[in-house]
Amino acid sequence: MFYRKAQNKILKGFQNGRITIINGARQCGKTTLVRQIAKEQNIPYITLDDTKKLELAKNNAQNFIEFYTPPIVIDEIQYAPELIPYIKQKVDFENKKGMYLLTGSSDFYKNTKITESLAGRMLHYELFNLSAAEINNYQDNIIDMIFDKDISKLINFGKQIKHPNINDVFQKITVGGFPELQNLDTEIRKIWFQSYLQSRILKDVESFFDINKEHKILDLITILAANTANLLNINSIAKTIQLDFKTIKKYIELLEAMYLIKRIPPYSKNITKQVIKQRKLHFTDTGLVSYLLNISSKQLINHETEFIGSLLENYIFTELAKESSYADNPVKIYHYRDLRKNEIDFILQSADNKIVPIEVKTKSEIKPKDISGILNFAENFSGKIFRAFVFYSGKELMPMPNKAGLNIYLIPSHFLV
């Protein structure tokens, strides 16, 4: 079992709030985590995967909440949104800390027309699939190190990585971060992903969102996989899949609510007139993308696929998002692209408004033209850039001289494997 680095933050939230909810994709490890918390805190654990308990929750929600008194863990709460109004009443009446720890495999508040709001009563956490740091039990956090004044912390971190190699990154891309897949071979992983899509994702689509075009959802997921790390063009996708714009938009929102994809907003502070408003698409797991596109680690290692750049960028995104979710100082992640098509893969913004542009390249030698997006952004950005990074296939963290005098560093992609 892997130790989840979000556990301490979630536990602190549970102990200081009335309702704490953990959302995340199917099979990302929510159940394992809350079972561990329930055991350590000596509180009851209930899962609505249990058909008898689910029947009671749906048919007599008030009795369910009165019978299973807090503090309590309720797993897979999205199966019974009928419980929400009574949970609200319970916490309003008792007004105690640490009453409910809930999990859900979809952002069901957006999709089930619940009128009773838990605003002001709930602390929300998102659990991602396993990060490289969790798999390797690294103590350092890449986000905290990126924003630390002392760059030597990143240098020292790189020294502890065993057998640094970009090929390890490509291998990790095709495995992804689902806990169950970490020790399975390629053939079994493919069977697992097939089952995951058919028996879990489509089941949730049918159960929670009342959609009867499941085959179109699978087609859409595959098309989106081919467009990961690109600007999201819903009109183009609608024409390809032969569904109307509104339907495709609804399905994309559904997939995001199920935590399968993320739509990254553009960075636009102080330069709103220049920036294209399209969001950028990323999947939350590159193993799933690799399966959908039938891409092997060998193809990536040998550069035998056109998707190598987008998959590497998607992988870097997932690791940055995962690390941010449990960092001491979480960040917001944006992309940048202006009307002249100058672009930067990621803009990280800290809570105190430090800005760190990040580019992702598959090559091992970075030339001045490879940082042109960062330099252009610096010219148009009214504030001060803290530092910038280019993830690349080289083996050493090093500064990159530039005409703007920015603190730009080349950082090996294997720092995130």
The mean per-residue pLDDT over the stretch 18-30 comes to 95
The mean per-residue pLDDT over the stretch 222-235 comes to 97
- Give this prediction's pTM: 0.94
Buried b (16+ CB within 10 A) or exposed e, 274-295: ebeebbbbbbbbbbbbbbbbeb
Locus of tokens 């859409």: 220
The DSSP H or E segment spanning 181 is none
The DSSP H or E segment spanning 264 is strand 261-264
One-letter amino acid at 104 equals G
SS3 content of the chain, % helix, strand, coil (to 5): 45, 15, 40
The mean per-residue pLDDT over the stretch 99-127 comes to 76
Q: From residue 174, give the alpha-carbon distance in Å to each of 29, 307, 315.
A: 19, 12, 10
Alpha-carbon span 18 to 357, nearest angstrom: 37
One-letter amino acid at 109 equals Y
pLDDT computed for residue 164 by the predictor: 78
Q: Which residue has the higher pLDDT, 384 or 66?
A: 66
Q: Which residue has the higher pLDDT, 158 or 117?
A: 158
DSSP class of 69: P
Q: Which residue has the higher pLDDT, 358 or 243?
A: 358
Cβ contact 34:76 at 8 Å: no
pLDDT computed for residue 109 by the predictor: 56
Q: What is the per-residue DSSP string for 232-257?
A: --HHHHHHHHT--HHHHHHHHHHHHH
Q: From residue 59, give the alpha-carbon distance in Å to each of 54, 81, 295.
A: 8, 11, 46
The mean per-residue pLDDT over the stretch 208-226 comes to 82
Q: What 3-state class would DSSP assign to 112?
A: coil
Q: Count other C-beta atoms under 10 Å from residue 346's C-beta.
A: 25
Given a cut of 50, whether residue 403 has pLDDT beyond it is: yes
The residues facing 262 across adjacent strands are 282
Q: Where are any strands of DSSP class E within 165-260? A: none
**What residues does each domain of the chain span?**
7-126, 132-416
The mean per-residue pLDDT over the stretch 127-134 comes to 97
The mean per-residue pLDDT over the stretch 260-288 comes to 83
Average pLDDT score over the chain: 92
pLDDT computed for residue 274 by the predictor: 43
pLDDT computed for residue 213 by the predictor: 65
The mean per-residue pLDDT over the stretch 336-345 comes to 90
Q: From residue 68, give the alpha-carbon distance in Å to each of 65, 119, 152.
A: 5, 23, 51
The mean per-residue pLDDT over the stretch 160-165 comes to 82
For residue 42, is it left (φ>0), alpha (ψ between -120 and 50) or beta? left
Locus of tokens 């680095």: 5
Q: Count other C-beta atoms under 10 Å from residue 340's C-beta.
A: 8
List, in order, residues 6 or more apart from 270 with CB less than 8 Å away.
381, 382, 383
Residue 229: which pLDDT band, with cuts at 50, 70 and 90?
very high
The mean per-residue pLDDT over the stretch 106-132 comes to 75
Structure token pair of residue 218: 């699978």
Alpha-carbon span 10 to 346, nearest angstrom: 27
pLDDT computed for residue 208 by the predictor: 64
Q: Which residue has the higher pLDDT, 372 or 119?
A: 372
The mean per-residue pLDDT over the stretch 2-10 comes to 96
Q: From residue 10, give the alpha-carbon distance in Å to each of 30, 44, 154, 333.
A: 11, 17, 27, 21
Residue 273: which pLDDT band, with cuts at 50, 70 and 90?
very low
Query: Considering the chain, what percentage of its residues have pLDDT values greater than 90?
Result: 81
Cβ contact 197:218 at 8 Å: yes
Locus of tokens 């935590």: 259
Q: What 3-state class would DSSP assign to 314?
A: helix
Given a cut of 70, whether residue 330 has pLDDT beyond it is: yes
Q: Cis bond leading into 330, ω under 30°?
A: no
One-letter amino acid at 309 equals G
pLDDT computed for residue 269 by the predictor: 67
Given a cut of 90, whether residue 110 has pLDDT beyond it is: no
pLDDT computed for residue 392 by the predictor: 98
Q: Which fold has domain 7-126?
A: Rossmann fold (3.40.50)
Q: Which residue has the higher pLDDT, 207 or 167?
A: 167
Residue 23 CA, chain-centre distance (Å), reads 11
Please name which of 17, 25, 147, 156 lies closest in space to residue 91, comparing C-alpha atoms: 17
Query: Considering the chain, what percentage of its residues have pLDDT values greater than 70?
Result: 94
The DSSP H or E segment spanning 151 is none
Q: What 3-state class would DSSP assign to 43?
A: coil
Given a cut of 80, whether residue 348 has pLDDT beyond it is: yes
